[in-house]
Structure 1
């Protein structure tokens, strides 16, 4: 009897550790759509919340407190029966070691989100074929969130998740939709995952690791060294900037991090490479120059 009780406890613990990886708030905003019958949007919102938060996306054991906090905001811009046009905002954060601070990791706006949906349609994903742009897009970004998050904790730690996102993209190319295609100069889903896995741009993922694990996670123990590691990581982005014009990864980084960087380095205290940091920031992210002036 004692052995049975022990086995039950072990199995229960294993069950608790194999829970879902995402703690995602999905919002479907239909304010731009005229008409009073909007029940379909409430149904869609509920279905997406259940799908994302109840799916086991990886084979990793995850405690409830280790789930990745994120949000997906779908703004419906047009409707034609069961065809919808929308924008999708994808955001995620990461906890900082021994701190209550949540560092922003992703802040992506996808403006080319078109899909079909009938109320109460089941949300089913087949990794070997393309069935639904709605489901494929959600699956794609779920793996992007998990992959980028893992990269901030271990060097290239999100490889498997990013490869799953790549597979979702490859299958979705069957749809012919522009967001999944290789279009020169277009910062779309194809470009996002292609850049993240490109060997020549691998420095970006090293930057993510150094910035968070060697930088922010060490602020509580050694602020000067941590800030130096953060500086070195940001300065390393210049190499990526010089490799390709209009690099999507540069935009990806600063769309999430510009306010955080401005806050950390707006203090009066100087660091060894602060002037170099400011020069690099002005060069690679000129759209945020109003924020960089706060660093002077």
Structure 2
């Protein structure tokens, strides 16, 4: 499905097909790790990248130019014992904008509760039907989240099959009792709540609609049909407000704004004043911490 959509966008650079969907760069920040063996972090980086980039996550065919670009920053917060790590993970995924050389940040999320074991020459085994390790479960979980969101930006609710798999990975991982997979965490920023909002929650459905409207019916049309593009960007923001009014501080709304606040401020600068005024009113309600940034949209 995604390949056909990209073909429609004229972004396919070659006719050969490849199965790998991701092109992620992994960075390991090990400054806080209490170990002299720094080589293990280079192995960790290479293992994580190979796991994410070297396998097929879907049944679709991707060319090299179609692969989803992204970054994963793993910050080691502590190493309480040899081979055991406590970390924060930031995941970012990019999406091309039709007719331009610009890549928009489609997903930006910080996971603050990851503890895992990693040893030299560790095998990276994974099954979507059972929990085998904390590392491969988390990496596979976010691989499917990223692919699902990417597909959502090209077709309305196009990521549904991948959020279902991420939900299954989460359910299997809960059995291990590790932090981040359950719903009893101190906040809603956990893997449980993220996939719950993407896959299970009807309240959050308008955010997924916003992914499509903002990207495919908004950014992708800015050159060919700017009037329609600005209208759809406004509708996407209003859908975020709809969710925020019903259930404040949802992960999806926060994540959307974390990825888009700067971009939205720049894009709307050239919008008609009526669109600007309605958008700013909604944005300030959805993301009050950035009110000054949004008010600047109204300045000439």
The answer (yes or no) to whether the contact 2:148–2:159 under 8 Å persists in 1 is: yes
Whether the aligned pair in 1 keeps the contact of 2:144 and 2:165 (CA below 8 Å) is yes
Q: If the length of structure 2 is used for normalisation, what is the TM-score?
A: 0.90
CA shift, 1:273, in A, is 2.7
Report if aligned partners of 2:21, 2:68 keep a CA contact under 8 Å in 1: yes
Give the superposition deviation at 1:75.
0.9
Counterparts of 1:236 and 1:212 in 2: how far apart (Å)?
A: 14
Q: CA deviation at 1:32?
A: 1.8
Of residues 187, 190, 201, the one that matches 1:188 is 190
- How far does residue 16 in structure 1 lie from its aligned partner after superposition? 4.1
Instruction: Give the paired residue count.
Output: 281
Q: Separation in 2 of the partners of 1:291 and 1:26?
A: 31
Pair 1:20 & 2:20 matched: yes
Distance in 1, matches of 2:89 and 2:242, equals 30
Tell me if structure 1 keeps the 8 A contact 2:86–2:115: yes
Q: What's the CA shift for 1:50?
A: 1.2
Rounded Cα–Cα distance in structure 1 between residues aligned with 2:183 and 2:126: 23
Q: How many Å apart are 1:128 and its aligned residue? A: 1.9
**Which residue is 1:125 aligned to?**
126
Higher Cα radius of gyration: 1
- Aligned partner of 1:264 among 247, 264, 267: 267
2:53 is the alignment partner of 1:50: no
Pairwise CA distance, 1:111 = 0.9
Distance 1:25 1:290 in 2: 33
Per-residue deviation at 1:186? 2.3
| Counterpart position of 1:147 | 148
Matches within 5 A, 1:204-243: 204-243=207-246
Q: Does 1:280 align with 2:254?
A: no
2:246 is aligned with 1:248:
no
| Separation (CA, whole Å) in 1 of partners of 2:140 and 2:17 | 22
- The aligned residue for residue 96 of structure 1 is 97
Offset from partner CA, 1:55-75 (integer Å, 9 cap, x none): 100101111111100111111
Deviations 1:143-169 (A, max 9, x none): 000000000000111111111111110
- Measure the CA separation in 2 of the matches of 1:70 and 1:290: 29
What CA deviation, in whole Å up to 9, does each residue of 1:109-140 have, x standing for no partner? 11111101111111111222212111111110
- Residue by residue over 1:178-213, the C-alpha shift from the partner in whole angstroms, topping out at 9 and shown as x without a partner, is 311113742111000000112232111111111111
Contact 1:76–1:85 (8 Å) recurs in 2: yes
TM-score by length of 1: 0.91
Which ranges of 4 or more aligned residues in structure 1 deviate by more than 4 Å?
none
The answer as to 2:201 corresponding to 1:163 is no
